[in-house]
Amino acid sequence: MKFNIALLAGDGIGPEVINEAVKVSDAIAKKFNHEITWTPALTGAAAIDAVGVPYPDETHEICMKADAVLFGAIGHPKYDNDPSAPVRPEQGLLLMRKKLGLFANVRPTFTFPSLIDNSPLKRERIEGTDLVFLRELTGGIYFGEKGRRDGGETAFDNCVYTRVEVQRLAKKGFELAMTRSKKLCCVDKANVLETSRLWRETVQAMEKDYPEVTVSYEFVDAVAMRLVQWPNSYDVLITENLFGDILTDEASVISGSMGLMPSASVGEHTSLYEPIHGSYPQATGLNIANPLATILSAAMMFEDAFGLKDEAEAIRAVVNKSLEEGIVTEDLAPKGSKKYKTSEVGDWLVANL
Amino acid sequence: MKFNIALLAGDGIGPEVINEAVKVSDAIAKKFNHEITWTPALTGAAAIDAVGVPYPDETHEICMKADAVLFGAIGHPKYDNDPSAPVRPEQGLLLMRKKLGLFANVRPTFTFPSLIDNSPLKRERIEGTDLVFLRELTGGIYFGEKGRRDGGETAFDNCVYTRVEVQRLAKKGFELAMTRSKKLCCVDKANVLETSRLWRETVQAMEKDYPEVTVSYEFVDAVAMRLVQWPNSYDVLITENLFGDILTDEASVISGSMGLMPSASVGEHTSLYEPIHGSYPQATGLNIANPLATILSAAMMFEDAFGLKDEAEAIRAVVNKSLEEGIVTEDLAPKGSKKYKTSEVGDWLVANL
Ligand SMILES: CC(C)[C@H](C(=O)O)[C@@H](O)C(=O)O
Ligand SMILES: CC(C)[C@H](C(=O)O)[C@@H](O)C(=O)O
């Protein structure tokens, strides 16, 4: 098969981890007889520096034409302490999500047996954890009307959802649950918010179309607790944009493998794959960042965007092997053992595929 | 001294745990020569059943006249699966907060040495954890305009904050930080929300009035992670209503002592003290609920509302003693050891004061 993949490396360690994912993807393509064309494009602070905006039209064209988008990370410290700077890298991220129609962010959290003791949680609490959040990504308070009144003394953000937005996200949730343990949890705050009541009634009405799926409804505050107490009691969770932002990050630290967690954003026009970690500016250019989350995101891309399960499994298998053999960057290297460089990890994976 | 305390037992196990807190408070009052008048009043599902509304005017009058309010818990399963029921217990809670002007919810999270191994987190992650959230409680998306449009197909919730609302909450945060380690963390989502930008700029402008306090600004998603990773890196945290709802519940489970965590809500007219746990309907009437969180809330009341530090310390000391000696309800009793009843714990505390 032939693929055209848009390559958005972004800021900080983005280019370094993307580089390794490209190496591994190319090796997989060679092995399985595919042909990948990579089309790099600017985004984030790198795009602001080059052309003044964080998500240039040219980048958008490239993404729209691509079969999938592989994304690194964006964010730069020079914007960090000035959230009201007129142009910010994050605006590019939000604009990209909206313009590409990426309404569902798929965020798995699972454990790697060899890393389980890195978790802040006790082993018996997390063993067997394998959950997936579907976070709504193009609606809610992120995209509602916002602004100031009373000469700047009053600020407001509007959270808005339509039934159709809830339905399309929930549909993905039901479908995903059908391929897994048929358990779906709808996370909301229906005891307070009208948007949550719309979420809940919409999902309730869809239950009859998926009679095999058991649906539970939990309040966001209760989920924030239970994720720490019994993460392995969850399977598929669906939620709105802001709750998803908070809970998926919370969930990411429970496995002890945050540096390895991939994600996908899917929707109307294309799909995008990215590590969940940030741009880690302090490590930029040092060749020390862990490339595995990006490489596992590429595996998700092979499986979900191109339907190539064997290719994805091959990547996951070699990543597992590297973990077992201790071919890891400094964040995962036990005290006293060798710390591999970003590029050395990539080289080892390619050699062992 | 003489005090008049409004007693809002509420639903589920509320009356049982409140009963023990009254016993212990009366014993303390006797010992230190104070006189307490308790004025019971209806709230929650109990109030709906009796008079049709969850926060009757009469209850409000009683609270307004009281020196403090001691609160149990509200919520009843018959409302749980119907978030759009016309009258719900939670509405009483929100109305009470608003009408009593309880704009700051004070939620400490700390560890009890004898309970530390109950935590889902590893000992080394939580030892020394002693943090306090100040959650804004009468503004934000909880109280903004909400409703439907387009024949019910679109729902909205408005999040609104004024500078004055942020200032009065932040002031309490700075003052509390001054009495502790002088570290304050402002939790927001200033990279996305205009209300968060108002929060951040307001707190930034107040920094000069508290030159000794070191202020950090963190995004809510990052805090949701770090609370699980390094809870003992935090001291005082201030945040808006919805973020506070999620993060304080998340924080409550890290100590392993959730059943013991007290809270206070303070503001314009009076102050209210309550355990952070819910109404635990399954345990209603069984005399098995843990009364310690309510008893420790009474200790907060003695200290903060009445300025009686010795009385508060005496309560905390006897609670610690009960934990050390294993005079605990079933939630804390190790396998095979005696499970004390709710009232037995209260009796023991009174006898050992
Ligand atoms: C950078 C920020 C705007 C973004 C979000 O809140 O969605 C990030 O936290 C994420 O989760 O991808
Ligand atoms: C019951 C509910 C309305 C309430 C809230 O969200 O404030 C509760 O979760 C709390 O934190 O006291």
> Mind listing the pLDDT tens digit for each residue in B99-137?
999 999 999 999 998 899 999 999 999 999 999 999 999
Interface of B with A in 260-299 (CB under 8 A): none
Residues of chain A where predicted confidence (pLDDT) is lower than 50:
none
User: SS3 letters for A125-185?
Assistant: HHCCCEEEEEEECCCHHHCCCEEEEHHHCEEEEEEEEEHHHHHHHHHHHHHHHHHCCCEEE
pLDDT at A263: 97
Tell how far the Cα of A218 is from the centroid of ligand 2, in angstroms. Answer: 13
For B54-108, the pLDDT digits (tens) are 999 999 999 999 999 999 999 888 876 666 678 888 899 999 999 999 999 999 9
Computed from CA positions of residues A140, A93, A265, B248, in that sequence, does the dihedral angle turn out positive or negative? Answer: negative
B130 is catalytic: no
Strand pairing report for A35-40 and A2-10: parallel
Other C-beta atoms within 10 Å of B322: how many? 20
Q: What is the largest CA-CA distance in chain A?
A: 63
Fold of A112-258: Isopropylmalate Dehydrogenase (3.40.718)
Judge whether B1-102+267-353 and B104-258 match in fold: yes
**Given this model, what pLDDT does residue A77 score?**
83
- Mean per-residue pLDDT over chain B, rounded: 95
Domain boundaries, chain B: 1-102+267-353, 104-258
Q: What is the pLDDT of residue B83?
A: 64
Rounded CA separation B219/B196 (Å) = 9
Best CA proximity match to A231, nearest among B117, B112, B121? B121
Pick the catalytic residue: A57, A249, A309, A338?
A249
| pTM of the full structure | 0.96
- Nearest bound ligand to the CA of residue B244: 2
Q: What is the mean pLDDT of residues B26-33?
A: 98
Read off the amino acid at residue A296: L
User: What does the pLDDT read at residue A24?
Assistant: 98
**pLDDT score, position B90:** 87
Residue B262 phi, psi (nearest 5): -90, 170
- B273 CA: distance to closest CA in chain A (Å): 20
Q: In the structure encoding, which two tokens stand for residue A148, read together? A: 């100031």
Contacts of A294 (CB under 8 A, 6+ apart): A17, A18, A20, A21, A70, A72, A262, A274, A275
Please name which ligand lies nearest the alpha carbon of A261. Answer: 1
How many other CB atoms sit within 10 Å of the CB of residue B243?
Answer: 29
Instruction: State the distance from the centre of ligand 2 to the C-alpha of A221, rounded, in angstroms.
Output: 8
Longest dimension (CA), chain B: 63
**B 4-23 → A contacts, CB under 8 A:** none
**Structure-token pair, residue B267:** 């503001």
CATH number of this structure's domain B104-258: 3.40.718.10
Tell me, using a 6 A CB cutoff, whether residue B90 lines ligand 2: yes
Contacts of A329 (CB under 8 A, 6+ apart): A259, A288, A289, A290, A291, A339, A340, A341, A342, A345
Q: Which CATH architecture has domain A1-102+267-353?
A: 3-Layer(aba) Sandwich (3.40)
> With 90 as the cut, is the pLDDT of residue B268 above it?
no
Of B142, B221, B247, the CB nearest to A192: B142
pLDDT-based confidence at B303, cuts 50/70/90?
very high
Strands (E), chain B: 2-10, 35-40, 68-73, 104-110, 130-136, 146-149, 154-162, 183-188, 214-219, 236-239, 262-266, 271-275
Instruction: Give me the pLDDT at residue A74, please.
Output: 92
Shortest-distance Cα residue to atom 11 of ligand 2: B245
Using CA coordinates, name the residue in chain B closest to A190. B83
**How far is it, in rounded angstroms, from Cα B242 to Cα B159?**
10
Nearest Cα to B261, choosing from B141, B131, B143?
B131
Which of B26, B130, B245, B331 is catalytic? The answer is: B245
Q: Does B221 touch chain A (CB under 8 A)?
A: yes
